Amino acid sequence: MIEDARRISPDTIIEADLCIVGGGSAAISVALEYMKSGRTVVLLPGGGPHQTSSAIDLYRGRVERPRTHEPLEENRLRMWGGTTTVWGGRCIPFDAIDFEERSWVPASGWPVGLDELKEYIARANELSEAGKADFDARSVFPEKQAEILRGFDDEDFATWPLERWSIPTDYSKRYRTDLEVASNVRVFMHSHAIHLQVDPGGTRVERVVAACKPERSFQIHAKQTVLACGALENARLLLTSKDILPEGIGNHHDLVGRYYQSHRFGVCGYVKLRDPNKDFMYEFERDNEGVYCRRRFWLTPEAQAKYKTANVIGFFFRAVSDESEHRNAMVSLVMLVKTLLGGARKGPKRLMEIIKDQRKELLSHLWIVLNDAPSLFGQVGAVVYTRFIQKRRLPIILPQRKSNHFPLFYQTEHVPLHESRVYLDPTSTDDFGMPRLVADIRFSEVDYHTIRTFVNQFKQRMEQSGLGTLHLSNADLDFLAHPELKKFNSNAHNIGTTRMSTSPESGVVDTDCRVHGVENLYIAGASVFPTSGHANPTLMLIALALRLGEHLRSKA
Ligand SMILES: Cc1cc2nc3c(=O)[nH]c(=O)nc-3n(C[C@H](O)[C@H](O)[C@H](O)COP(=O)(O)OP(=O)(O)OC[C@H]3O[C@@H](n4cnc5c(N)ncnc54)[C@H](O)[C@@H]3O)c2cc1C
């Protein structure tokens, strides 16, 4: 059932077997799995079907050191469906090495392994409509060349790993009917959890206090509670609920909000190939179910151990906004539309800031579009069709191969650091009186070393293989010499604030995602990841959410 929390009388008490706080992919995945038990579930999605300005305001916070993180309300959607309402749909599993303790990656090692999670990754992939969970070009496309460039792969690089792309599935629309018709599920639109009330001993959640407006609160009395509000809000709710435990729930060891991770990503240099028309698997391919797939350059686990880097991949992309010299009118048009529409969605103030911030690049894109307008006529129709009319969307408009200009995009694991964290701002609260967050994200020498090594080894391999050259500008060389952060955007990859561990001294949740020391409180989402891998987080977090739903279902 889908109900409107604004119609609930103040102080109402709702009973349920399970209360799930959140309405994104993590929350919906736990619900879909748990509801099979026939027991009752309540979802509090933290908003309604549309994002409102008052909901956006609930996410506002502060960034320690300007420009080291995007504004906290920028990439997060406080609404039913969460960020799946806008996500790109890139699905990538974690690699076996991501779960290992690596001496050169501090705080690495998961208390669960890939083998244990494989079946859930497969189900997460299905739920995301990204096809069969086979991420190996050698078996998905056996009749084709496995490498991106024939003759490129060696002991340092493998290019057969695939990423798969979801439709992209908006979980709020795709699974709405399943939840609506289920007699044991109640979704309360426009409801926000504002407090977790634990018993006097601090070992059980007795009730979740929720509200749709500041003066209209109600309560959920549930046997079990799952927080699935995204990595920043999961930490915030635990830290805010401190009437019984002054340090916050699950925070005996000052770990809630710590080890905050994302990824490092960006474009460094561009490749010019000897022959872009020969033995080059560049564009998206569709598997036998029509799912878009693409290969990527992966620094092999052996090479990661040899060079002591974190996990890292690369692929050919388009230039990002501060590098518009690729001179492709279609790409420039897409960049302009995306930047301006994306900014407009965030409100006029943020749009003006974005225009001011990126004025030079936007003008440069506009110039390219105006100069090359005739070339757009044929392309726009095809792009509108593949991007917006086809049920399964073409994930990205890539520059044409005939340009022979392929910007190298890298995406690295972000090494977990104790001092990288979010914490409560003692000076500011939201409309519900909840302290806002401060984000203080940090990167380490291993992160810088990983980018530097990946780009340098890639350049060397390109030249050794005789397949082409990676061109690095002075700005690229300068960046590689000092890849410290001046400006950062997490792109909604928020990871690790309630990390998983076997003991409470080293993490916040146990291997069942239960908060250490609290018998009936669980967490779903990327906040439980001990390390970030290089992979975009959603597939993995859905896998863990399904595993959690199954665990809760199996409990008496
Ligand atoms: C533009 C964009 C593109 C992306 N592309 C990709 C991609 O291609 N691949 C990928 O892997 N990832 C991608 N992501 C990231 C991905 O969307 C997230 O990793 C993932 O959806 C997170 O799911 P979640 O359920 O944990 O959190 P969210 O989606 O953030 O959902 C959190 C939910 O909790 C609710 N909530 C918050 N606070 C409260 C509260 N106090 N009470 C009740 N409810 C609350 C919110 O309303 C929301 O429903 C992208 C993100 C963005 C913004």
109-123 pLDDT, tens digit per residue, is 999 999 999 999 999
Mean pLDDT value of segment 56-73: 93
Q: How far is CA 331 from CA 325, 328, 341, 396, in A?
A: 11, 5, 15, 10
For atom 35 of ligand 1, the residue with the nearest CA is: 22
Beta strand pairing status for 421-429 and 285-286?
unpaired
Centroid of ligand 1 to alpha carbon of 516 (angstroms)? 24
Indicate if the pLDDT at residue 183 is higher than 50.
Answer: yes
Centroid of ligand 1 to alpha carbon of 416 (angstroms)? 21
Tens-place pLDDT, residues 504-527: 999 999 999 999 999 999 999 999
Considering just the CA atoms, what is the radius of gyration of the chain in Å?
23
Mean pLDDT value of segment 529-547: 98
Amino acid 383: pLDDT: 63
Q: Which residue has the higher pLDDT, 10 or 117?
A: 117
Gap between the Cα atoms of 132 and 327, Å rounded: 37
CB distance 27 to 49 below 8 Å: no
Mean pLDDT of the chain: 93
CA 242 to chain centre: 28
Centroid of ligand 1 to alpha carbon of 536 (angstroms)? 12
H helix or E strand, kind and range, residue 154: none
Which numbered atom of ligand 1 lies nearest the CA of 166? 8
What confidence tier does 325 reach under pLDDT thresholds 50, 70, 90?
very low
For atom 3 of ligand 1, the residue with the nearest CA is: 87
Does ligand 1 come within 6 angstroms of the Cβ of 346? no
User: Range with the lowest mean pLDDT among 196-205, 343-352, 428-437?
Assistant: 343-352
What confidence tier does 339 reach under pLDDT thresholds 50, 70, 90?
confident
Gap between the Cα atoms of 458 and 439, Å rounded: 33
Gap between the Cα atoms of 137 and 284, Å rounded: 12
Amino acid 193: pLDDT: 98
- The helix-helix angle for 373-384 and 329-345 (nearest 10°) equals 60
Centroid of ligand 1 to alpha carbon of 544 (angstroms)? 15
Gap between the Cα atoms of 52 and 345, Å rounded: 11
Amino acid 215: pLDDT: 83
Centroid of ligand 1 to alpha carbon of 230 (angstroms)? 6
Does ligand 1 come within 6 angstroms of the Cβ of 161? no
Amino acid 134: pLDDT: 98
Which numbered atom of ligand 1 lies nearest the CA of 210? 42
Centroid of ligand 1 to alpha carbon of 84 (angstroms)? 6
**Residue in this structure with the two tokens 């069969």, named with its chain if needed:** 132
Does ligand 1 come within 6 angstroms of the Cβ of 78? yes
Indicate the DSSP class of residue 15: E
CATH tag for 1-93+112-130+168-261+418-442+494-556 (out of 1.10.10.10, 2.130.10.10, 3.50.50.60, 3.40.50.300)? 3.50.50.60
Among candidates 396, 331, 414, 324, which has minimal Cα distance to 361?
A: 324
Centroid of ligand 1 to alpha carbon of 364 (angstroms)? 32
Centroid of ligand 1 to alpha carbon of 374 (angstroms)? 39
Residue 44, exposed/middle/buried by CB under 10 A (0-12, 13-18, 19+)?
Answer: buried
Amino acid 324: pLDDT: 41
Please give the model's pTM, rounded to 2 decimal places.
0.92
Which numbered atom of ligand 1 lies nearest the CA of 192? 42
Does ligand 1 come within 6 angstroms of the Cβ of 248? no
Counting ligand 1 atoms within 8 A of each CB, the residue from 538, 539, 544 with the most, and so the one to mutate, is 538
Domain ranges of the chain: 1-93+112-130+168-261+418-442+494-556, 132-165+263-317+398-413+444-484, 324-391
Gap between the Cα atoms of 553 and 393, Å rounded: 35
Does ligand 1 come within 6 angstroms of the Cβ of 459? no
